[in-house]
Structure 1
């Protein structure tokens, strides 16, 4: 019996009646009742990273199972997936199970009681107008008390009186499926020859119910979504379910509109902003198969699909697919596993594929479909470099004269412009001009970010917030605190000063708090209510704005610093996606990159529009040192309430590090964020050649480590962030 708690494996219980794997039951655990899932006896994970089997328990020590829950059993493919993710990430399987069941096991939707009219005679009951109105409205189709009262105008007391007289009787109101069935033939698009050929290749494994992974790569605006929706249509024709993963829930509004235009019905949606009732309904509809297509965030991988026939990962290169806390997994990689366990094809979609995916294409593990031109004859935008050493902005400002002139020209032409800066708030650093004191988070080794509109300083790592003081807390000098560097609020302030007639919209997580707010922002842009969009990375997420012809990147160098393995790759992907918002219709697009290092390979690749050459260069740099994807990495993050305990545990772990050919251990060293949420952090990095599985090494390495005094060791297989 697997319970959604951090036990190393299933627990043994005594079943008073036969139970099938996947059934959900109530079981005693200590002095409380918890929900457990009847688990499979046979392991379903690869032997190279599976944990050793547990020991047998004597029958007389077993406690009995309680009642079965009135929900469908978890399907076999999901149980195998839970085992696989747990073994791969070195996570207790119960914690993985919790992601599949945590809020959905109780209060499953049930039929409710309503009223139908009987054939009983009215007898001596006096027929008042309210009673007659109820009987006229009631029929053989059950109606709730509220509906019957609303349609008849009578009170609930009148309805109960008619029921007592035998003229109405209770009946179950059948559950109505909350999701309409999409029609694969509803709005079939006219595809170009190149698109139609790619769509045919994507549909073939869907119709054959065969696992295969395909990279669908295409330049921005090439119609990748329309192409993979043909594979979705093929899966609907086969009567199977579809899972589409998006990196950000903000994308769901525009994606859903496109889906409705293609299939005539909305898909089911899954993300953290859904209410509890809708989450339960969606979970149940996925389980019974009535929800045929679901679009969601990475957590949708753990839904109990009745018959999964296709998995799509849109914008597969996005780091947002990586879960950084709790169960640390990469949604893209686990989506491929989920598809394989369901005998379903997987489609990875991107204009700027990750090096990991390109390496799998190179070795033949993944198919590759390429769309080389924009749909409808639109041209790729011209990308130009603004050398800030030669064309600097005015003192205290951040927009160069070249960019300002381009914006003015665009606005005069009744077209839309976009300014991009991947930094929230007003300024990333606030310091005292008198003594040099820097405003720092008390819980983290990070600077506090000024949010001037709200008059606060906040930490973007732990959420600590304090009022912006009038004097320096160190030297007490009055009005001495000054902002250093630009955030998106500061760029908005400058834009309002420079372009007073512009209709400005800010798109950032601070201003768009929900998918509904994002949808409204997209509508305003599409309807031409705004002509200057200022945004963080949310504006790079696949939007289609036909009248947007100019994109200005305020700080193209942001993200290139530090020792992050993937810094250059992520920067070129992000800026390429941002640039791709320009000129997606008949009007040509222009992109201006403000940079102080125009000779950097990232800038060269963007200006020449040669993404492949950059990735080839990146690949050549990583191969010799066996850096991913040509080797394996696992990070050990040691944290403790104080630095001495963190150092002691890190040294203990380092002394026990494995020593063998093809394996290297780096560290321990303080993490770049050495203090996070009040915990002191140290890191070690295990690196191996590609053919060595890191899970057995880690399991053996950490077997005798016993953190104490509040210390903790977290393991991150295939880390993305090195903070």
Structure 2
């Protein structure tokens, strides 16, 4: 090759042609350094016949590549996946390709790095900053910059601690190998149904070829143990396995189960890894040394050397859909990657997405069912508490029937879980004197009171202020009133009713690191927690045998707003949290507090009739032309200038295509009209399945030009309508 076409990681530039200097060997997928003006940039050599280039320039006039980096080229299946993702989700090719380069530091090759850890020395006198660092960095080892971020102090404080002998340097081998998994470490005792499912997955791994499975098993049925047997088969064949989890908080529990089965932990990949861990993991993935990789959605685009199986656990989870940058759904892209790679993929869930169920009914997915819990454990009994009849006391949120059941469990030494999908103490705080409401300056949202941290916080942009002593509007002291409950308020109510009960509040605020998750799991398993009060973070993945009662504080919360999938999400969330009860030998019970017991989703949960709920939901979607029977796409226009955003949205709406199979709604201000300081307008497309929505959008937007401050984002198959 004397000339190549590169994808450059610059959103403003398309593919660029370069000359390959003598002696340099490159091929499609090679990662290279190229000159761009006075700078040096990273690029990926791409198949020239698959990219539109600019003006044909003679090779003699092209600038030469500077260096080919010492990493294997991106494989053909991965390049095709990147192209498909960019095309389907209307995203820049370079933005998708960038996700395959998970660690730019790893591109330089192996080597060593210096990290720091506490020496254990504790001097007689400490500054407040050094004392805070000592408290925060227990058992931590990382670079000075990473330690400073974790401790909340400056790098100068930590460098001073190095000089004082409180921190010591440690030389880390960046390419040290991971321990090898042992497939015979603790082979499980599977039930006949589990064994049949495991055999199907293992056979698919041995045979190779694309086979998409939907593993539909009730909570506690042992889905993980089933696909672990396929993982063992892939390891025995020398192939790599990718397991996608929807949230980092779930990894700790998964790691424990994996290590109990295979003797070693898997390789982790997620955004919270420190830089040396990301570098080590990426290089092990590329070389094939990493056998099993467990990660968040970004792990999907890693350049695996010998991928043999993909598992998407909790495949129904909304968090698999990315809502910024490249707006892709990792569940769906995982199936597409498996197709390009020619390997099996397993989508595992107790409450599959309606789209997955329809594909299984159509025969596109192979459905494998586990209808019973493992070991004879029974599914919990579900009871509805009508809040119109069993009203909680004034300024309380737990209804009398649930209070009685909580008292009963505490008396019996069993554990309970109260679920409310709302962080903080209260969703709204106002002044009782003048009615002033605390609102985020950057978003169309109220500030949420967090009494544990004594802050008012926005859950959309992260804006925080200390809880004021007086109203900022009328200056009245001690006048704040909390409106409505969050999990902290429910925990306070439990403590008020049962002063001796040991309560744990579980949210993304409290379980914000693997260490915190580990502490929580050990405390519950050790009997140190009697009542768990949590958000959706506790609805999945956890197995606590002594937990026999689940109370859903407000089942109607998820049905509010205009979310297309509100009913389905509510069903999934409550069914998942209900599945935490009675997973051991003791029977479980679930109480669902609601003001609308007649709502289809509540009635289906109470009757345990999932099939009728899915059938009714499917019929409603079919009539509305909604997914999976129709197509949705959103166009989101935003700017820091409201008038600029409005005019850009009107320009898009004014040039809308007039097509019989595409309906365009809007533009209109988004429900979240101000988000992170940007004003937002939305247009929504509803199209038939036959419509080429992506081509329509590209042709439509491609003819328009917008001011520099305007951003126009396209969301194919949107999950968020805010």
State TM-score, norm by structure 2: 0.88
Query: Structure 1's 38 and 496: CA in aligned 2 closer, same or farther, altered over 3 A?
Result: same
| Aligned match of 1:550 | 549
- What is the deviation of 1:337? 1.1
Q: Does 1:39 align with 2:38?
A: no
* Distance (Å, rounded) in 1 between the aligned partners of 2:706 and 2:474: 41
Q: CA deviation at 1:648?
A: 1.0
Q: Report the CA distance between 1:681 and its aligned residue.
A: 0.5
Structure 1 residue 94: Cα displacement: 1.2
* 1:416 alignment partner in structure 2: 415
8 Å CA contact 2:174–2:279 kept in 1: the answer is: no
1:71 to 2:78 alignment: no
Does residue 1:715 correspond to 2:714, yes or no? yes
SS at 2:199 equivalent: helix
Change (3 A) 1:34 1:175: closer
How many residues are aligned here? 657
1:191 aligns with 2:205: no
2:318 paired residue number: 319
Structure 1: how far apart are the matches of 2:708 and 2:246? 37
Determine which of 1, 11, 17 is the counterpart of 1:12: 17
**Which residue pairs with 1:136 in the alignment?**
none
CA distance in 2, matches of 1:579, 1:53: 55
- The one-character-per-residue Cα deviations of 1:483-528 (angstroms, maximum 9, x if unpaired) are 1000111111111111111111111111111122102211111121
CA distance in 2, matches of 1:56, 1:484: 65
Give 3-state SS (helix, strand or coil) of 1:623's partner: helix
Kindly state the Cα deviation for residue 719 of structure 1 after the two structures are TM-superposed.
0.5
Residue 693 of structure 1 deviates from its aligned partner by: 2.3
Change (3 A) 1:95 1:174: closer
Stretch deviating more after TM superposition (59-68 or 526-535): 59-68
Q: Distance in 2 between matches of 1:677 and 1:176?
A: 40
SS of 2:73's equivalent in the other structure is coil
For 1:493 and 1:256, locate their aligned partners in 2 and report how far apart those are by CA, in whole Å. Answer: 32
Corresponding residue of 2:498: 499
Indicate the residue corresponding to 1:310 in structure 2: 309
CA distance in 1, matches of 2:37, 2:468: 51
Whether 1:660 and 2:667 are equivalent positions in the alignment is: no
- Alignment correspondent of 2:34: 27
1:224 Cα offset (Å): 0.5
1:402 deviates by 1.1
Distance in 1 (CA, whole Å) between partners of 2:342 and 2:428 is 51
In structure 1, C-alpha distance between the alignment counterparts of 2:102 and 2:583, rounded to whole Å: 42
1:409-558 counterparts in 2 under 5 A?
Answer: 409-558=408-557
Contact 1:7 1:94 in 2 (8 A): no
Q: CA deviation at 1:174?
A: 9.6
Q: 1:520 to 1:86 in 2, by over 3 A?
A: same
Secondary structure of the structure 2 residue equivalent to 1:680: strand
Equivalent-residue separation in structure 2 for 1:378 and 1:99 (angstroms): 42
Aligned 8 A contact 1:104 1:279 in 2? no
CA distance in 2 between counterparts of 1:280 and 1:106 reads: 5
**Structure 1 SS opposite 2:178:** coil
Q: 1:54 to 1:469 in 2, by over 3 A?
A: same
8 Å Cα contact 1:71-1:105 kept in structure 2: no
1:549 and 1:209 mapped to 2: Cα distance? 42
Counterpart of 2:125? none
2-side partners of 1:577 and 1:22: how far apart?
Answer: 42
The CA distance in 1 between the partners of 2:293 and 2:326, in whole Å, is 22
Do the aligned partners of 1:3 and 1:97 also contact (CA within 8 Å) in 2?
no
Between structure 1 and structure 2, the one with the greater Rg is: 1
Bigger shift: residues 228-237 or 585-594: 228-237
CA-to-partner distance for each residue in 1:630-681, whole Å, 9 max, x for gaps? 1111100011122221111111101111111211101111101001111110
- Determine if contact 1:7/1:92 at 8 Å carries over to the other structure: no
- The answer to whether the 8 Å contact 1:196/1:227 transfers is yes
Greater Cα shift, 61-70 or 621-630: 61-70
Distance 1:522 1:55, change over 3 A: farther
| Residue aligning to 2:8 | 3
Q: Is the 8 A contact 2:443 2:676 kept in 1?
A: yes
Larger mean Cα displacement after TM superposition, 467-476 or 432-441: 467-476
Structure 1 contact 179–266 (Cα < 8 Å) conserved = no
Conserved? CA contact 2:210–2:343, under 8 Å: yes
Tell me whether 379-388 or 23-32 shows the greater mean CA deviation.
23-32
SS class of match (1:254): helix
Is 2:631–2:688's contact at 8 Å kept on the other side of the alignment? yes
Cα separation, 1, equivalents of 2:292 and 2:370: 25
Cα distance in 2 between the residues matched to 1:381 and 1:174: 50
Distance 1:712 1:486, change over 3 A: same
- Deviation per CA, 1:206-260, whole angstroms, max 9, x where unpaired? 1111101110001100000001111111212222110000001111111111111
1:664-683 alignment to 2 at 5 Å? 664-683=663-682
Question: How far off is 1:184 after superposition?
Answer: 2.2
Give the 3-state SS of the residue equivalent to 1:695 in structure 2.
helix
Q: Distance in 2 between matches of 1:58 and 1:630?
A: 50
Q: In structure 1, what is the equivalent of residue 705 of structure 2? A: 706
For the Cα contact (< 8 Å) 1:542–1:577, is it kept in 2? no
Q: Deviations over 1:567-598 (max 9, x none)?
A: 11101100100000000011000011111111
Partner Cα distance (1:42, 1:559) in 2: 48
Residue segments in structure 2 that go unaligned for 5+ positions in a row: 1-5, 114-171
Q: What is the Cα deviation at residue 458 of structure 1? A: 1.1
CA offsets 1:94-147 (integer angstroms, 9 cap, x no match): 11122221533456452579xxxxxxxxxxxxxxxxxxxxxxxxxxxxxxxxxx
Task: Give distance in 2, aligned partners of 1:262 and 1:281.
Answer: 24
Superimposed CA distance per residue, residues 680-703 of structure 1 (whole angstroms, 9 cap, x where no aligned partner) = 100001111112221110110101
Equivalent in the alignment of 2:343:
344
Task: Give the 3-state SS of the residue equivalent to 1:674 in structure 2.
Answer: strand
TM-score calculated relative to the size of structure 1: 0.88
The root-mean-square deviation of aligned C-alpha atoms, in Å, is 1.8
Residue in 2 that maps onto 1:100: 100
Would you say the 8 A contact 1:424–1:488 is kept in 2? yes
CA contact (8 A) 2:106 2:280 kept: no
Q: Tell whether the 8 Å contact from 1:550 to 1:589 is kept in structure 2 after alignment.
A: yes
For residues 195 and 455 of structure 1, the distance between their equivalents in structure 2, rounded to whole angstroms, comes to 48
8 Å Cα contact 2:102-2:282 kept in structure 1: no
Cα offset, 1:8, TM superposition: 5.7
Contact map agreement 1:420 1:551 (CA 8 A) in 2: yes
